[in-house]
Structure 1
Amino acid sequence: MGKLTDMQIRAWIKAGERFEGRADGDGLWLRFREADTVPVWRFRYRFAGKQRTMQVGSYAELSLAKAREAAKELTARVALGYDVAAEKQERKAKAVAKIEAEKAALHVIDLANEYYERMILGRWKHPDIVRRRIDKDIGPHLGKMKVEDVKPRHIDDMLRDIVKRGAPTIANDVLRWTRRMFDYAIKRHMVEYNPASAFDLGDAGGTEKARKRALSREELVKLFEAMRMAKGFSVENDLTIRLLLLLCVRKMELCAARWEEFDLDEAVWHLPGERTKTGEPIDIPLPSLAVCWLRELRRLSEPSAWVLPARKMEHRMVPHIHEGTIGTALGKVKHEMPGVENFTVHDLRRTARTQLAELGIDPVVAERCLNHKIKGVEGIYNRHDYFTERRDALNRLAALLDALDKGEPYNVTPISKGRKKTA
C-alpha cells in the first residue's frame, strides 16, 4: 500500500470507516478505532530489540504533512539512541506532578488565614485589626504567591505601595504582621527562611510619632461649612462625622454599631466590651442632638440592623461600611477647606478631647468620655463610671458644636476644673 493522502483520510472519516492501523511509511501509522472521535497518528519503532509505539497526535491537531515531519524527527532521535516513547511518558509524568504540586502548594493567603485562625482569633482582643491588614494589604500583594516563592523584593514592593498611598503607619503594621506570619511558617516547617526578617521600620513607614493634630473652633466652623458644600458627600457621611466629633468614640466603634445597642428613648448607647479597645463595655450618654442625628440615620438605614450598612457590592461580605469609607468621604470635604492643615478621621477624636478641655471639663471625666482607663492608683480604686458627669460634658460639647455649625458665638463660661477626690 502506498503513501496516505489527505483525500483518503477525509473520505474514511466521512464514511465512518474504522481501522486499527494504516501505514504511511517511516514508522508513521494512522489509527481510527470505534472509540476515536478523529483518526490518531501513531509512531512505531524498535528500541533495544523491542517494538515500541507512541501516540504522536490526532488528525485534528496534525495534518498529514505535519505528522510526517514529526515522524522524521522521532526517527532521527531514535537513531541517536533515545527511547522517544519513554521520554514522552516522563514528560507527561512531570507535567502531572507539577499540576498536583500546584494543587497542594501553600499560598500566602492560606498561610495568612491559618496564622489568623490559630494565633490571632480567640487570643487577641481586637482580631479584626489583623484581619483588615490581611484582606486589604497582605492578601492583594502576596496572597496568590506560593510561600516559598516570596522574596525580600516582594516584601519591599508591598511596603513601598502602602507608603506611596500615604499610609506609613499601616506599612509598619503590615511589616510586623508579615514578619510574624513567616516566623510562624518557619516553626511549622512550611518555609526555610523569613523573607521579611531583614526589614525594619526604616524600610516601611519609619518611626511612628504621636499625632498632635486637633481642629480649632475656627476650623470646625469651616468643616461644617465644607460638609454642606462638598460634592458627592452624603447625608450618612455628614451625620457620621458629626457623631464622631460629639460622642468621642473610635471610628470602627461607630461604623460597626448595630441598632440593638442603642436605646434612643433613654438616650443611651450600650457599647459592648467586645467592640471597645479596653475590652470593657460602656454606656455612652446621648445628647438630644445625637439622638436626632441617630434617628435620621435609622430612617436612612432601614431595614438594616446596622447603623451604617455597607453601601458597595464589593464590601457586602462585611455588612457595615468599610473602614476606609469615612476617610474617603472626608477627602471630599477637605477639598473645600483650602489653607486648613491636613487632618484625619482619628484627629476628630483628638479634637473632641481638646474641646472638652477648653470647656473646662474635669480631665478624668474627659478621659472617660473617650473611654480611656484612669491611670495609676486612682484607676485601680476608683470604679466610678462618671455617667452623669459624662452626660453633662457631652451636652456642653453638643451645645458648642451646634453653635459652631450655625455660626453663632459660644460664650458659655467653662466649668470649674476642681473636683472632689474619690477615696
Structure 2
Amino acid sequence: MALKELLTDLACKNAAAESAKIRKLHDGQGLYLWVYEDGRKYWRLRYKIHDKEKSISLGVYPVVGLKQARQLARAERVKLASNIDPSIDRQINKQKAKEAAANSFEAVAREWYRKQTHTWVISHSKDVLRRLEVNVFPYIGVYPISTIEAPQLLNMIRIIEHRGSFDLAHRVLGVCGQVFRYGISTGRCKRDPAGDLKGALTPHKKKNQAAVKPEELPELLRAIATYESVGDRQTQLALQLLAFTFVRTNELIGALWEEFDLSNALWIVPSERMKMKNEHVVPLSRQVLEILAELKTIAGNSRYLLPGRNPNKPISNNTLLFALYRLGYKGKMTGHGFRAVASTALNESGLFSPDAIERQLAHSERNEVRGVYNRAEYLPERKRIMIWWSDHLEALAKGAEVIPLFSKSV
C-alpha cells in the first residue's frame, strides 16, 4: 500500500493545491511535496528526534526534482541514524560557512585594504585593488586564508609570469604577503606562505624612470620652450611648471587653484593628494608665479590648474608624458625624471642641506615627530632652494654653462 502512495515525476509536475492553501503530497518516510495555491512547490522532510516532531526544507521543485529530493532525504536519515539532528547540523554548517567566508583570503584582503587606504594616494589605492581583483581573488579568493600554502600561491603567481609580467608578479606577491601578515595579526592564519616563495619567482630588473643627464637638461628646456609649435600652450606651461617645481606628475595634474596662496608665494598640496599622506609645501619662485598667472587665464572658471577638454576634470595622466614623446624624448625623459635631475643638481651644488632637499622632494620621513620639526625648520631654506633652482633652469635655457652650475664650487 505504501508503494502506491509514492509520488511520480508526472504527479509532481501536475500537482495543484486544489481548494487548499497548502496541499502536502506524501512520498513516504517523511518526505513531502508542499504545493501552495499560487503554484509554488517545496520539498520538506518531517522527522522525529528526542521525542520532538521537526521538519526541514530540501529545496524548491522543479529545481530539485523527485529523484534528487529522495537522495537528500536519504542523506538526512543517515544523520538521524547517528542521533544527529539535521536541523541543528544545518545551522552548524551555515555558521561554519559564514565563518569560512569571513576568513577567506578575499575577505581578509579587503579588510586589510580598507585599513590601508587612508595612508595611500588615490592612484596607488586603485592599483592595489585592481591587482587583487584581477590577479588574486579569482584564484585564491574563496579559500580560507589559513589553508593557503606556498604551492597554491606559486601557481597563482605563475599565471602572471606566463603573461611576461615579471615585475607585476613580484608586486602581487608583496601585496599577498601583507595580507597574510595582517591575517596573522588578526588571528585568521598562522603564517605567511608568501615568504616561502623567495627565490621561486622569475627575477626582474627594476627599471628606473627615464631622466636626462644634467648636461642634456639645457637642450630639453629649450625644446619645451618650442612645444607650442607642435602642441598647446597649456601643456607647454605645465611641462615648465613640472621642471621648476619637480613635484610628482599626479600632484601637478590634480592641482586645484584653491591650493595656491599666491600672496605668500606658496603652493600647499593637501595630504590626501600626496604619496606619503603628508601635507607638502612648495615655495613659488618668480618664474612659477608668472606661469601660474598665464595658466589662470587659460583655465578660466575651472577649479583645476590644468583643466582638460571637460573643465570639470583635469588633463589626463599621460598628457605630459606624450608631450615629451612629441619632443623626441620617448624613453629618454618622464615627468618623474625632473625630480631625479633636480635631486642630483641640488645635492651636487653643495649649497643646501640634504635634509632640506629631501623635504622639498617630499620623500618619506621615518620619524613622524622629526618630520613635523623639519617642516618648520627647513621652510626658509626650501624657499632659497626653489628660487635657486628656477634661476638655474632659466640660465640653462638661455645657454649658461652647465659644468660650473653642477660643481661643488657653485
Shared fold per TM-score greater than 0.5: yes
Q: Which residue matches 1:397?
A: 393
Alpha-carbon distance, 1:346 to partner: 1.4
Alpha-carbon distance, 1:151 to partner: 4.4
Q: Which residue matches 2:399?
A: 411
Note the 1:18-417 alignment, pairs <5 A: 21=24, 31-32=34-35, 38=40, 61=63, 67=66, 69=67, 89=87, 92-93=90-91, 96-105=94-103, 107-113=107-113, 116=116, 121=119, 131=125, 134-138=128-132, 140-142=134-136, 144-145=141-142, 146-148=144-146, 150-152=148-150, 153-154=152-153, 157=156, 161=160, 168=167, 178-200=176-198, 203=201, 206=204, 213-214=211-212, 216=216, 217-219=218-220, 229=230, 238-264=236-262, 268-271=265-268, 275=274, 282-288=281-287, 291-293=290-292, 295-296=294-295, 299-300=298-299, 302-304=301-303, 306-307=304-305, 326=317, 328-330=318-320, 332-333=322-323, 336=326, 341-352=331-342, 362-364=349-351, 371=360, 385=381, 387=383, 390-391=386-387, 393-398=389-394, 400-401=396-397, 410-412=398-400
Cα-to-partner distance string for 1:135-155 (whole Å, 9 max, x where unaligned): 453465436555335544546
Distance 2:43 2:130 in 1: 52
SS in 2 for 1:270: strand
Mark the runs of 5 or more structure 1 residues left unpaired by the alignment. 374-378, 402-409
Cα-to-partner distance string for 1:177-235 (whole Å, 9 max, x where unaligned): 643453343233221110211244884765758778315244555566678647xxx87
Amino acid of the structure 2 residue aligned with 1:394: S
Cα-to-partner distance string for 1:233-255 (whole Å, 9 max, x where unaligned): x8765543332112223334434
SS in 2 for 1:343: coil
Distance 2:199 2:300 in 1: 41
Amino acid of the structure 2 residue aligned with 1:214: V
Alpha-carbon distance, 1:262 to partner: 1.7
Q: CA 1:391–1:190 in structure 2 vs 1: closer, same or farther (change >3 Å)?
A: same
**Could you state the TM-score of these two structures normalised by the residue count of structure 2?**
0.60
Name the count of aligned residue pairs.
377
Distance 1:384 1:98 in 2: 61
Amino acid of the structure 2 residue aligned with 1:411: G
Alpha-carbon distance, 1:72 to partner: 7.2
SS in 1 for 2:267: strand
Task: Verify the 8 A CA contact 2:211 2:337 in the aligned structure 1.
Answer: yes
Alpha-carbon distance, 1:38 to partner: 3.5
Mark the runs of 5 or more structure 2 residues left unpaired by the alignment. 363-373
Task: Say which one has the larger Rg.
Answer: 1
Distance 2:361 2:26 in 1: 89
SS in 2 for 1:387: helix
**Could you state the TM-score of these two structures normalised by the residue count of structure 1?**
0.59
- Which of 16, 19, 26 in structure 2 is aligned with 1:16? 19
Alpha-carbon distance, 1:353 to partner: 5.8
SS in 1 for 2:266: strand
Task: Verify the 8 A CA contact 2:177 2:192 in the aligned structure 1.
Answer: yes
